[in-house]
Structure 1
């Protein structure tokens, strides 16, 4: 009888000591690449369904668009200007490091990006255009450039972006044979940090700031101002420790 009581007590102790099962976070377990691409295609499917109920086909009219909420700290477009073009930029932010000063912060030395025509997408679905920027970061930029189409969409090239010198960003929107939108060398007018929830880069880099740029001498096509918004990744590490003399960080933007 005594042995039986001991046996029951042991069972009871085992039952009460059972470990709690861990809670699994679905968001934490899904890689950012999969989440970004899935979000884009899910949103795209929703937009396709919604389009079937429209009374008329959507247009590429940009006149009703405004800057996203995260750009509230940037100066507004100058009086009398109209929105002419929206592009998804996909490329790299470029940096240099002094090998003799590993504790210093990397120095930004410009950027290189291919611009893809997102005007119609943004005009009809601004949220889809923003989602596309996040998804595009997870596709090989070289492949998009070679195919002249932005993965995972079918947007065609509308221009290129690079720097003429340390302070002059250049946007060439004359590269398409379909239309010539102009060229604009420009300098930074204002900058604000990307929103706290801005998507990270391929190696969890923070999103580069949002900018307003003003034209310098030599702009054509009536182009006067450029905004960089909806940035994805692109920031350098805090210091040069362990970094090469020159390096690139992939990014996307609108």
Structure 2
């Protein structure tokens, strides 16, 4: 599956015939399933488009309990400049939409992973799948030093490091876009299932939901008012019958659209 996805992606890679005199018109992706996320709040404008790559975390209280989400960790890269009709690096629309799959299948998981999976948790390969319990990051120090995203054959130039996504001590989804001076402490205000055609990821468990998040009332957000998670890849937990009474992490990637 990975080889086929990347072959298609490479065939789609092309720079659009953008004009330096005409800025692109940004259109938030749609599931086209008949069920969509709520619209962007009136008066907000696009700040950044990012691709995030990391892990979704889960825990199981017992073998027959539902897997409970315990947050996520991801590194965010600024792909705003690759949006179609952006001069001079805009991609063709199918190639841009495929970036979340591209980063998932062609980049090592950009986290400080636990020792148990250091040797095998590089670029995903369907023939060498680790158990969900092996993908966890080092809790005390999960993030590696910041670096840009380089995907030869997928991106014409490097995508700048934008920041980190994590859940804070209170379990609040947080976006620290340190390179842009933006910060979001968010609450979920909408979710829809990923389309049936979504990339199911390394474990084949499915793509996590698309989300709308809105700045929390805690007053911590700086500049960011809404975040949309779209075009998701992987991230769904195995059942607790498989995971057992334990914690696990599932690799995922997604686009994040930031508004303020």
Q: Deviations over 1:49-88 (max 9, x none)?
A: x54xx5x3487x45x1122121752110001111110000
Q: Distance in 2 between matches of 1:36 and 1:191?
A: 26
TM normalised by structure 2 equals 0.73
Aligned CA-pair RMSD: 2.3
In structure 2, stretches of 5+ residues that fail to align are 86-90, 111-121, 124-143, 256-260
Question: Which of 49, 54, 60 is the equivalent residue of 1:97?
Answer: 60
Does 1:159 find its partner at 2:163? yes
Instruction: Quote the residue 1:150 is aligned against.
Output: 149
CA shift for structure 1 position 146? 5.7
Q: Deviations over 1:13-36 (max 9, x none)?
A: xxxxxxxxxxxxxxxxxxx11122
CA shift for structure 1 position 240? 3.9
Does 1:169 find its partner at 2:152? no
Does 1:35 find its partner at 2:4? yes
Structure with greater proportional helix content? 1
Contact preservation (8 Å) 2:30, 2:36: no
Question: Which of 22, 36, 51 is the equivalent residue of 1:88?
Answer: 51
Contact preservation (8 Å) 1:105, 1:237: no
Does 1:134 find its partner at 2:95? no
3-state SS in 2 of match to 1:85:
strand
Q: Distance in 2 between matches of 1:66 and 1:58?
A: 19
Alignment of 1:54-93 (within 5 A): 56-57=19-20, 61=23, 64-70=25-31, 73-93=36-56
CA shift for structure 1 position 181? 3.7
CA shift for structure 1 position 210? 0.2
Instruction: Quote the residue 2:221 is aligned against.
Output: 219
TM normalised by structure 1 equals 0.74
Q: Distance in 1 between matches of 2:103 and 2:56?
A: 15
3-state SS in 2 of match to 1:150:
coil
Instruction: Quote the residue 1:28 is aligned against.
Output: none
Larger Rg: 1
In structure 1, stretches of 5+ residues that fail to align are 1-31
3-state SS in 1 of match to 2:6:
helix
RCO comparison, higher one (Cα < 8 Å, 6+):
2
Q: Deviations over 1:118-156 (max 9, x none)?
A: 101124334322211112111311379667232524212
The number of residues matched between the two structures is: 208
3-state SS in 2 of match to 1:203:
coil
